[in-house]
Amino acid sequence: MKALLVNGSPRRNGCTYTALTELAKTLEAEGIEAEIVHVGNKDIRGCIACRKCHSEGEQGGKCVFNDIVNEIAPKLAEADAFVIGSPVYFASPAGGAVSFMDRLFFSTLNIDKTMKVGAAVVSCRRGGNTATFDMLNKYFTMCGMPVASSQYWNMVHGGTPEEVLKDEEGMQTMRTLGRNMAFLMKSIRMGKEKLGLPQKEQTIFTSFHR
């Protein structure tokens, strides 16, 4: 089983990476293959709503901007779990992480994410963490992805990696998250084998204009 962990911080080996590394080690100890991919330092522009990714033909299922988003999409398809990690910038995720998530999740509607385990990991020096955490989890809850929880919100505190390592509760939260994710992933696989995925209806789109 595979878990894809995405580092949305501009700093490759910063506080977010430190938290994701603790999570990855726990997942691997539970028999889950964990890969950390750094996207936060890439030039990732936002979605322009061209909808080319939803068109027929070669472009269908791919973003029109052929960058790290299209590189990660096949990894998302193969993964049993997906984690997005981000630092807090102005009480929100880093801008590159938001652009990445917007485009990845919109351009991969052809990838069935049902019952892939999702989790968000947030690092901050002091505040803005819960607002960031709430925003990142919304990508999962509209795609049929169970959201993994821990003993506290999935966050660490510190201004440097060394300070994050001293956040004993934060590090323990990452380890608990890893064990909970592994349990969910294994349980869902068993459920798929015995029961299959939940029945799906054809999607209905409505607006508030009548």
Segment 193-207 mean pLDDT: 90
Tens digits of per-residue pLDDT, 12-61?
999 999 999 999 999 999 999 999 999 999 999 999 999 999 987 666 78
Element (H, E) at 171: helix 168-195
pLDDT band at 9 (very low <50, low <70, confident <90, very high): very high
Element (H, E) at 81: strand 81-89
The predicted pLDDT at position 58 comes to 65
Strands 92-93 and 155-157: unpaired
pLDDT band at 177 (very low <50, low <70, confident <90, very high): very high
The predicted pLDDT at position 208 comes to 76
The predicted pLDDT at position 59 comes to 66
Could you tell me which CATH class the domain 2-195 is placed in?
Answer: alpha beta
The predicted pLDDT at position 186 comes to 98
Structure tokens at 134: 């709430």
What CA–CA distance (Å, rounded) separates 150 from 131? 17
pLDDT band at 207 (very low <50, low <70, confident <90, very high): confident
69: nearest Cα among 33, 35, 43, 93: 43
CA distances from 30 to 21, 80, 178, 180 (A): 14, 14, 8, 10
What CA–CA distance (Å, rounded) separates 76 from 118? 11
The predicted pLDDT at position 56 comes to 74
Segment 56-74 mean pLDDT: 87
Q: How many angstroms separate the first and last alpha carbons of the chain?
A: 46
User: What are the extents of the domains in the chain?
Assistant: 2-195
What CA–CA distance (Å, rounded) separates 183 from 90? 34
Tens digits of per-residue pLDDT, 99-155?
999 999 999 999 999 999 999 999 999 999 999 999 999 999 999 999 999 999 999
CA distances from 148 to 2, 16, 108, 115, 139 (A): 15, 18, 21, 11, 13
Strands 92-93 and 81-89: antiparallel
Structure tokens at 183: 């349990």
Which DSSP letter does residue 4 get? E
Q: What percent of the chain has pLDDT over 70?
A: 97
